[in-house]
Structure 1
Amino acid sequence: MLRIGALVLHVSDRERAGTFWSEALGYDRGDNPDFLTPRATGGPRLHLDDSDRTHLDLWTDSAAEQSAEVARLVALGATRVDWDYPEDADFVVLADPDGNLFCVIDSSH
């Protein structure tokens, strides 16, 4: 089932943003302070990044589910984005009909 796994938030200062968002949302800062996780289960992770743009990471449970969801989203009006993927990429970059980027991630990868 496709779900929001993470919100990637473009920030200028990850430490400052991490302090603010962890307090604002009641999220925990674990071993990697760039990834904030909800204290209650089920909510999306918040990924603080100073080089990537703000976008959604949508998670699937397998490569087959990822492929099916990408096809479904394209049929709904999403478009594939020409992207320079690493060799072992676990994500596919798409754009919604307004051009907002998002990733569909195989979380089993």
Structure 2
Amino acid sequence: MLTVGTVVLGVEDMERAVSFWGTALGYVRRDDATDFVVLQPSGGPGPRIAFQRSSVPVQEVPRVHLDLYAGDAADQAAEVERLVGLGARRVDWPHYPKDPDFVVLADPEGNRFCVIDTSR
């Protein structure tokens, strides 16, 4: 049976991406590689996130993105502010439903991701 081991994002600035996502998720570098960097949870098992250099432009409406889970609306709002403070930016997303349970952000590389209020 297959399981998801690592989600890989293309980036231009490797150290900026590693710094942002490492701090955002509390992840640590698996090793000292520089061309393909893997971050893993610092406290044990869990999905990994990796970065590879890419010169392909970021997709405005990506076919694949990360969903980060927050416990409730207050947690979601606090996490969005924390992530913006780390360098993420809010995305003017034209596809929001009437009462969304998610907020669309972009990391410092422009990769889109969502912060989800899982209490809904």
TM-score range, shorter chain: 0.5 to 0.7
Conservation of the 8 A alpha-carbon contact between 2:70 and 2:117: yes
Corresponding residue for residue 57 of structure 1: 67
**Displacement after TM superposition at 1:52 (Å):** 5.8
Contact 2:62 2:112 in 1 (8 A): no
Distance in 1, Cα, partners of 2:98 & 2:65: 22
Could you tell me how far 1:53 is from its partner in structure 2? Answer: 1.3
The one-letter amino acid paired with 2:64 is: T
Other-structure match for 1:5: none
Give unmatched runs, 5+ long, in structure 1.
1-22, 27-41, 45-50
Q: What does residue 37 of structure 1 align with?
A: none
Partner of 1:66: 76
RMSD, matched Cα: 2.2
SS at match of 2:77: helix
TM-score, length-normalised on structure 1? Answer: 0.55
Q: How many equivalent pairs are there?
A: 66
- Return the offset for 1:88: 1.4
CA distance in 2 between counterparts of 1:76 and 1:65 reads 16
| Structure 2: gaps (5+ residues) | 5-44, 48-60
Structure 2 length normalisation: TM-score?
0.50
Query: Which of the numbers 75, 88, 106 marks the counterpart of 1:95?
Result: 106
Give structure 1 regions of 4+ aligned residues with deviation exceeding 2 angstroms.
none
